[in-house]
Structure 1
Amino acid sequence: MAKTKSEGAPSAADGEIPATIWERLDAPRTARSTLTHDRIAEAAVALADAEGLEAVSMRKLAERLGVATMALYRYVDSKDELLELMTDAVSDPATLTADPEDWRAVFGEAAHRRRATALAHPWLPAAQSQVPATLTPSRNQVLERMLAALEPLPLTGDQKMQLIRALDAYARGAADGEVNQRMMLERRGYGADGDVRLLLRANMQWLLRSGRYPRFAALVTDGLAPVDAVREFELGLQAMLDGLAARFGI
């Protein structure tokens, strides 16, 4: 049985690569309409921010925009394309201000922006696990900035991409982990900014009583400072940049 548009993105199984939403956006539109891709993305982001990614459906989005559900399909072919629009919309490369000739500053700013965007839009990690979000126009502009910062350095194309992927892996992993913990705390009634130690208290007491983990128990008994997410992200980021600089001799 053939899939409906809402079930997935177009297939290239027959060897013909379908046009992406970004290619279609570049094509001139002959008819004028109050509904635009920007309006659709803005409404979808607002819906996800308010109710979570699971609340975003074509029907609900159409209601929010005051149009028929089928009207949306003149702009997006599938839910996957909608997610691509959303991930692109929350990236704003025009506001990046780091010195373009300082690769560490450019990379650091990109990492901090990745964290800030994920915290502002907690649905982003889940959305990016479903679509190839790295190749949207806004994210490609960030990539261009990073490549431009690396251009004067004695690096091959593969080495440049290794640097970029390593930085992205750190920033995404750290930011997504922080988002997941905040969402877990909120679901358990502690609030997104709650102290995770309260949530883990029962497990911690069992661990200390068990006697099975003496080294970790000693750390806890001696006293550990509350986790400072901002400081830990920065510490990890600088260690990553130091390591990349040493590894590639730059």
Structure 2
Amino acid sequence: MTVWDRPEPPTQPVPLDRERIVAAAVALADEGGLEAVSVRKVAARLDAGPMRLYRYISTKEELFDLMVDAVHAEIRPEEQPGDWREALRVLAHRTRQTALRHEWLADLLGGRPALGPNRLAVTEATLAAFDGFADTDTVMRAVETVSAYFIGAIRREIANLRAERATGLSNHDWQRAHGPHMTRMLATGRFPALAKAVYEGTDVDAETSFATGLDWVLDAVATKLIRPST
């Protein structure tokens, strides 16, 4: 029985339910990452005994599943997307925006999907936009391909943000600090392709890079999606 199927315990003198538990866990994770979340710390945030929480959740993994599902309410589109391309674009951008608000989400994306109501609603809205395509397997591969792109891009962006905070250096500051070494290495002539990229490439912000890559992946997916002839 999943955590969503298991009934909650009867109300206690101090009000407690899974919604409050999850909200407290999300707040802790927003403040200090997943390492800041434990049953004991969540209980302390709620001024409750840890053993009481185990009546609502069995493991920390269940708590993480509930947290992921809770923030999927922010990913769920406000309206049903009009077509498959819009659906996947909305999914990608809303997932990125949610991960930037809740950086810990990047650490939990890409594994086995949590089967909570918000996650299922997001998946339903995405798949419903493919109505009219008869080949279900192709549709599933399309969703998986686009998801693999944006999950990887989100994780990389979050990793860069964490590195900036850890070092106190922005990407531009880091590049300037390592500029002399890179210049010496490129001057050896051993890395001509890299030198071309460094000296001729255009530096773009993370949002532009994300959107451009997403459009390229969607263009590629479009070549595989063929509506059945009528």
The answer to whether TM tops 0.5 is yes
Relative to structure 1, the CA distance from residue 157 to residue 243 in structure 2 (aligned partners, 3 Å threshold; closer, same or farther) is same
* Aligned residue type for 1:170: Y
> 2:176 & 2:53 partners in 1: Cα distance?
45
- Show structure 2 runs of 5+ residues with no match: none
The answer (yes or no) to whether the contact 2:22–2:70 under 8 Å persists in 1 is yes
Q: Following TM superposition, by how much is the alpha carbon of 1:134 offset from its aligned partner in structure 2, in angstroms?
A: 4.2
Q: Which position in structure 1 is the counterpart of 2:2?
A: 20
- Structure 2 CA distance, aligned partners of 1:237 and 1:230? 11
TM-score (norm 2): 0.88
Residue matched to 1:10: none
Query: CA 1:38–1:209 in structure 2 vs 1: closer, same or farther (change >3 Å)?
Result: same
Distance 1:108 1:210, change over 3 A: same
RMSD of the alignment, in Å? Answer: 2.3
Q: Which residues of structure 1 form unaligned runs of 5+?
A: 1-18
TM-score, normalization: structure 1? 0.81
- For residues 84-115 of structure 1, what are the alpha-carbon distances to aligned partners after superposition, in whole Å with 9 as ceiling and x for unaligned? 01111111168613553321111110010111
Which residue does the alignment assign to 1:172?
A: 151
- Aligned partner (choices 233, 237, 242) of residue 210 of structure 2: 233
Measured after TM superposition, the shift of residue 249 of structure 1 is 2.4
The SS at the match of 1:89 is: helix
Q: Which residue of 2 aligns with 1:54?
A: 35
Q: Is the 8 A contact 1:98 1:109 kept in 2?
A: no
Does 196-205 or 159-168 show the bigger shift?
A: 196-205
Stretch moving more, 54-63 or 200-209: 200-209
Instruction: Show the counterpart of 1:186.
Output: 165
Aligned ranges 1:89-104 → 2 under 5 Å:
89-92=70-73, 96-104=77-85
Q: CA, structure 1 residues 122+226, in 2 after alignment: closer, same or farther (shift >3 Å)?
A: same
| Cα distance in 2 for residues equivalent to 1:243 and 1:227 | 22
The residue aligned with 2:192 is 214
Residue among 74, 77, 87 paired with 2:58: 77
Q: Aligned residues: percent identity?
A: 37
